[in-house]
Amino acid sequence: MNKPKLLIARRIYPEVLSKLQEHFDIDYNDSDEVYAKDELIKRLQGKQAAMTTGTDRVDEQVLKACPELKICANIAVGYNNFDVASMTARKVQATNTPDVLTETTADFGFALMMATARRVSESEHYLRKGLWTQWSLDMFTGPDVHASTLGILGMGRIGQAIAKRGAHGFAMRVIYHNRSKLSAPLEQACKAQYVSKEELLKTADHLVLVLPYTPEAHHTIGQAELALMKPTATLTNIARGGIVDDAALAQALRAGTIAAAGLDVFENEPALNPELLSVPNIVLTPHIASASRKTRAAMADLAADNLIAFFTKGQVLTPVNTIQ
């Protein structure tokens, strides 16, 4: 019996590749270069399956050109690289990798928020340039994290995990805004209080963004929203690029509208708005919130399990859409 043909669009760990080789005839992108759309379409010809990451855009044009495609398994919890409506209409299964990255991403989000508040990158650059010649009382002072107000925009699994770290580990007051209010038991577990978006922006000492990207969420945080925040507040984005208007953020940081920002995701990444590189009060990381070896391997492994289950059992473990 012929094996289904699978495109693995980015490099994966050897143990996951070996597992997939038992079930699929594989075209493997060992060079790890991001395929342009034309190349992605070319590589998908005759393929029934694809293992993708957020860099691989599967839209109507790709789907129309690749009629044999039956499933795309994303190595990510987010799936804004998928045109889910078109995939559903063309009966192409979409899957993602929730849960396995929750705690690792929450660890990083909290670390990035703390580094932002306590001016870790800014002070390190100062030291590396040889500018530190003496200690002074007010050198690189920043806002406290403990006993401050943590605001979370987007209260899914990762948002809840961050809330628990703040409330239980740092005695923070936790407020949040979400599309829907959490159940009373979940709010109690997170020690979190639901507030309006406006109150969240006005009240939070440290605002962390963990909402999914959708067209409606584009520039959820822009000039008007930044203007509502405290001048002593920090903003941390570990969600998706495009949720923050990066140009407006750079301007707000330069003007002192807010105190500092920490970004792991960017509009048009890996390209950056150059203004972000010219302001000192910002911590920048290259989309690594889930980047522990254990977690990244678990993400790839879950994507592989979705592919295998689809062809062996006719169902998947973590579907994004429902195929009738």
Residues marked active site are found at 240, 269, 287
Radius of gyration of the chain (CA): 21
- The contacts of residue 207 (CB under 8 Å, 6+ apart) are 151, 152, 153, 200, 201, 229, 233, 234, 235, 236
158 touches 106 (CB < 8 A): yes
Whole-angstrom distance, CA of residue 187 vs CA of residue 193:
7
Q: How far from the centroid of its chain's Cα atoms is residue 123's Cα?
A: 26
